Amino acid sequence: MINFLKRRFALSTKGAQNFVKAVFLTTALNLALMLPAVFIFLFLDDYLRELLAPTGNGHISIWYYMTIGILFIVITWLLARSQYHGTFTPVYEESANRRISLAEKLRKLPLAFFGEKDLSDLTSTIMTDNTELEHTFAHAVPQLFASIISLSFIAAGMFHFNWQLSLALFWVVPVAAIVILASKQWQRKNNKIIYDAKRDVSERIQEGLETIQEIKSYGNEELYLADLDSKLNSYEKELIRGELLSGALVNSAHSLLKLGIASVIIVGAHLLATEAIDLFTYFMFLIVASRIYDPIGDVFNNLAALFYLDIRINRMNEMTLLPAQSGETEFNPPNFDIVFDKVGFAYESGKQVLKNVSFTAKQGEITALVGPSGGGKSTSAQLAARFWDVDSGAITLGGQDIKTIDPETLLQYFSVVFQNVALFNTTVMENIRVGKRNATDEEVLRVAKLAQCDEFIRNMPKGYQTLVGENGERLSGGERQRISIARALLKDAPVVLLDEATASLDVENESKVQAGISELIRNKTVLIIAHRMRTVANAHKIVVLENGTIVESGEPKDLRNKQESVFASMVDRQMTTTNASPASNI
């Protein structure tokens, strides 16, 4: 049962155990809340019997009933207290653990996974979906199961007491339940539409915040707002339709339940007329009929809430079932040669990105990946760092297949500089220190100078203690790029991946930064990706990728002098465009 609850409600083992405990305590509390009715029944039964058929005592035992009443109050209070601490507190703890578990799961997923997911979508799963689960599990789901169990006990007792009146009382319950359950798929489908519409709105708002500069630059404010209004109107329309659908079904079920009161009145009157029951029994069933349908109605409300929750539970389970990367946490390679051996890879089925790619990037050498856009250069670099796992072939580092190495362990040996730099909303000093968390200020200053950061940093209001803003919004693209290079210098890892590392720099600053990069790559395994041919001028080996395959490879000079060389034609085209001398750099 625990495993079923874990799958059905996206719970941990402890969460499933706490759920069972919560259902038990809520059931006990529901039954305890019936004690006042039992108390009144016992008291009136004794009182009327004494009134109609005196035993000679002349009175009933008031102290006896006072003792029972106080005992019932104490039992109810103890159960209510236990139910609160056994339901609400564990739900909040489970919610916190679920968020941590999701974060840990995300930490184990391939890094390139995040490039395919919208930020607002992931945020919605971790925050909004968890909040909905937390709220519903605190106020609805345990109560749903507890109400079903407690009502079953009550119904069994009443059928034992008088089956005719009980049948008149409860026949409407399965009929009303059929109305709710028959619409289960319809409600789930409608809830999915509402959820997708809400996510579209969130994604559009997120996109607007991230691209507001481009929107304003091209005068697209009205177009963006019109599209956002359209999505908001669509979401509002679907939400109203969904609320009407759910409300109509639940209220229809509630209306059907009320027919039970009429049937109790009619059947009870007939039984009373035929002297099959006494007036007191008829009176008690009428009281029960006036109250019993409220908790049954709550069951239907909670059932509808559970249908609404299903889509969020499914998303949690999907996230949990994503294949995580794992491997050995101990890795001490004899060298840091990177070998691609017949590597094949596709981001999605039918769209092959790399096909039978084989090359070696040796330690102490610079291996440059060049070629037209979309040829597979960045993909190759990401695969080398195990951002994705290859579909066929193998990639080894120091002779060991990187699939067998834990990603976090593997990345300890990599310094990575990408064209798109991510900075944190903290000081310049701390942004550079990301490369090595325990680095001293002196170490940070040294790498900042090597990366040509020191001058512009000291011109900032608070120097190295200046806040850079959200994702470095107070810095230029070139300044962000140089801070990223400083990070990599600080980490000083044996393998260096440079993907358009100087693309945001002008020629003058690029020349300065090259000195820092030269320091960074000394005696290391270097994979460099660049479209500027001068960036790869000093490479030991060139690998030309086109349409996911290697079309040629070798030393720059050999490829430059080769007949019908793809690399030579790339150099010539670029030199012609920049009016530079073809022999000046290569």
Considering the entire predicted model, what is its pTM?
0.67
CA 437, distance to chain mean position in Å, is 27
Q: Which stretch, 3-7, 52-56, 124-128, 447-451, has highest mean pLDDT?
A: 447-451
Q: Helix, strand or coil for residue 46? A: helix
Determine the average pLDDT of the residues in 351-363.
91
Q: What is the 3-state secondary structure (H, E, C) of 248-301?
A: HHHHHHHHHHHHHHHHHHHHHHHHHHCCCCCHHHHHHHHHHHHHHHHHHHHHHH
Please write the tens of the pLDDT for every residue from 454-493.
Answer: 889 999 999 999 998 877 888 887 888 889 889 988 998 9
Q: What burial letters (b/e) apply to 489-507, b meaning 16+ CB within 10 Å? A: bbbbbbbbbbbbbbbbbee
User: Which residues have CB under 8 Å from 554's CB, separation 6+?
Assistant: 541, 542, 562
Residue 430 has pLDDT above 90, yes or no: yes
Residue in the structure block whose two tokens are 């300890």:
412
The mean-pLDDT minimum among 53-62, 366-375, 550-559 falls in: 53-62
Provide the 10 A C-beta neighbour count for residue 221. 12
User: Which residues have CB under 8 Å from 101's CB, separation 6+?
Assistant: 12, 320
* DSSP-derived secondary structure letter, 465: G
Question: To 10 degrees, what angle do helices 163-170 and 221-273 make?
Answer: 160
Question: To 10 degrees, what angle do helices 477-491 and 441-450 make?
Answer: 120
CATH class in words for 420-494+507-520 = alpha beta
Which residues make beta-bridge pairs with 343? 357
Provide the 10 A C-beta neighbour count for residue 82. 15
338-359+372-412+540-578 and 420-494+507-520 have identical folds: yes
Residue in the structure block whose two tokens are 């090359």:
359
1.20.1560.10, 3.40.50.10490, 3.30.70.1060, 3.80.10.10: which CATH number matches 2-321?
Answer: 1.20.1560.10
Question: To 10 degrees, what angle do helices 62-108 and 35-52 make?
Answer: 160
Determine the average pLDDT of the residues in 538-564.
87
Q: Helix, strand or coil for residue 445? A: helix
Please write the tens of the pLDDT for every residue from 379-391.
Answer: 899 899 998 889 9
End-to-end, the C-alpha distance of the chain in Å comes to 70
Residue 130 has pLDDT above 90, yes or no: no
Say what percent of the chain tops pLDDT 70.
89
CB burial of residue 379 (10 Å; 0-12, 13-18, 19+): buried
Residue 49 has pLDDT above 70, yes or no: no
Local confidence band at 583 (pLDDT 50, 70, 90 cut-offs): very low
Q: In whole numbers, what is the pLDDT of the chain averaged over residues? A: 83
Of 315 and 226, which is predicted with more confidence?
226
**393: phi > 0 → left, psi -120 to 50 → alpha, else beta; which?**
left
Query: What pLDDT shows up at residue 441?
Result: 92
Query: What pLDDT shows up at residue 343?
Result: 94
Q: Helix, strand or coil for residue 165? A: helix
Give DSSP secondary structure letters for 200-243.
Answer: HHHHHHHHHHHTHHHHHHTT-HHHHHHHHHHHHHHHHHHHHHHH
In what side-by-side order are the strands of the sheet with 351-361? Answer: 351-361, 338-348, 392-397, 400-401
The mean-pLDDT minimum among 46-60, 355-369, 552-566 falls in: 46-60
Torsion of CA 192, 195, 197, 203, to 10 degrees: -130
Among the listed residues 137, 25, 33, the one whose alpha carbon sits nearest the alpha carbon of residue 81:
25
Query: What pLDDT shows up at residue 584?
Result: 40
Where exactly are the structural domains of the chain?
2-321, 338-359+372-412+540-578, 420-494+507-520
CATH class in words for 338-359+372-412+540-578 = alpha beta
Query: What pLDDT shows up at residue 577?
Result: 62
Determine the average pLDDT of the residues in 402-418.
90
Q: Helix, strand or coil for residue 105? A: helix
The mean-pLDDT minimum among 85-89, 302-306, 343-347 falls in: 302-306
Instruction: Measure the CA–CA gap between 16 and 319, rounded to whole angstroms.
Output: 18
Confirm if 238 and 179 have CB atoms less than 8 A apart. no
Q: Helix, strand or coil for residue 141? A: helix
Confirm if 16 and 5 have CB atoms less than 8 A apart. yes
| DSSP3 helix / strand / coil % (the chain, rounded to 5) | 65, 10, 25
Among the listed residues 133, 134, 132, 129, the one whose alpha carbon sits nearest the alpha carbon of residue 88:
134
Residue 60 has pLDDT above 60, yes or no: no
Helix (H) or strand (E) holding 167, with range, is helix 163-170
Length of the chain: 586
Which residues make beta-bridge pairs with 396? 339, 401
Residue 97 has pLDDT above 80, yes or no: yes
Please write the tens of the pLDDT for every residue from 171-195.
Answer: 988 888 888 888 777 878 888 888 8
Q: Helix, strand or coil for residue 502? A: coil
